[in-house]
Structure 1
């Protein structure tokens, strides 16, 4: 063994002497055998944590979004309305818009549910494109959408609603080769007032929507 180091000298104290950390060969061997597994372990742990975060985000989004349109679902909208009651700074600074696609049943009956689903998906995207960044859009049920407009006065609320109405009215939906259909909407609006809770404001918006449909549809009515 004269002039030679035994295999794995980091574990052989008699060969390299003591203390080990003063021996460069021992230090180099230790780093060579220890650092790669350590780095691999960090990489694996980081990958697992990253995948876990992505999974949590996916599950959260899945529970918040409407399966068909990809916008917020009714449960999230209701939760947000209840939160508005708990925040006194927003009590008098928001409006609720209930939007219903006019005669949507005819679309399903005439062209089928596949076309009807595409109309809902495209309508949701059109509405999303015509809302402001801090406005909230969701599918409230069937062909009905709910929009919450924050921190806006009467005229701004009307401008947003009219922009959405016109955007839907001027859009065309493909129902087959060479077949285009037009879909309009009716909108009921209720603005928050001091002392009112969000669910009562929502009920007023629903009544305003009923009035808009009773007057001939494709129009906006305030509560």
Structure 2
């Protein structure tokens, strides 16, 4: 299937900025940015392409403008709004690869499910406190995000909004995500099958091979997640 854009970037925050910068600098031809947030002063320490005068602006619009001014050959477009159950399949189906730079579990699982159903490879990147985590999942989705994390936590789980995050750790997560996305675009299958973690306190980068989980409902034999069912995510904030 011909895809409209090279990369769909979901999230114009602390991880999305270095990911977009790395992709654009590497010569990625087209980028679609999805986010529904506005720039706040507290964002500037980690959302490195925003400036003081961007405070109050739409994040995807401000990020697109910053990228276009630096990389005029990059075709960058925006879709203001969240990835939601009723739009997820349409959004991910537009891209050759998806970079998940969101900051909550509901969105990550929704993106994981939509990408597997649509047959689109995805790079999930997360950062909390001093720790970054990145995993790339192939179009056939095996091993997938649910092989490792199974399902949306039913209890409160820390994220960058509640636990905070060190700006440089976001930079590492975004750079790793861009690296995986570029390798996928180049047809390099070595991007898949491992999880990369970075410990900012100890300055340790670790890559561990992972195996598909038997009976995984998303990518295993007899899988049960074959459609986007809104009530699977509605109890959680897909922001």
Q: TM-score with structure 1 length normalisation?
A: 0.28
Q: TM-score with structure 2 length normalisation?
A: 0.26
Structure scoring higher RCO (CA < 8 A, sep ≥ 6) equals 2
**Structure (1 or 2) with the larger CA radius of gyration:** 1
